[in-house]
Amino acid sequence: MAYSSSGLTRMAGGGGHNIWFYDSTDALTAVRVSGYFNDAAGMMNVGDVVFVYDSDAPTMGISVVLSNTGSVVDIADGTALTVSDSD
């Protein structure tokens, strides 16, 4: 799938950095690909933290913006979090 601006929410920010929450049916492996967040290049800064929620799985991951040329955004591979309910 493709980036959807309606899924990206700025949760907090200060000192030139932001914390983002991105809700999508795309897996972290798709979202972390260079260029996925290009349409958000004007908002995202290097060092921003991005929480990625795959509502299809459901899974959660945390990543960091590694580079932003002003038109191309690349985030780190990220760390997957275990989402389970054992009861």
Give the pLDDT confidence of 34-74 residue by residue, as tens digits: 999 999 999 999 999 999 999 988 899 999 999 999 999 99
Give me the residues paired with residue 50 across strands: 20, 63
Q: Measure Cα distances from 59 to 40, 41, 73 in Å.
A: 22, 25, 22
Query: Which residue ranges form the domains of the chain, and what is each CATH number?
Result: 5-80 (2.40.240)
Residue of 2, 43, 1, 49 lying closest to 21 (CA atoms): 49
Q: Measure Cα distances from 48 to 11, 64, 86 in Å.
A: 11, 6, 32
Record the pTM. Answer: 0.92
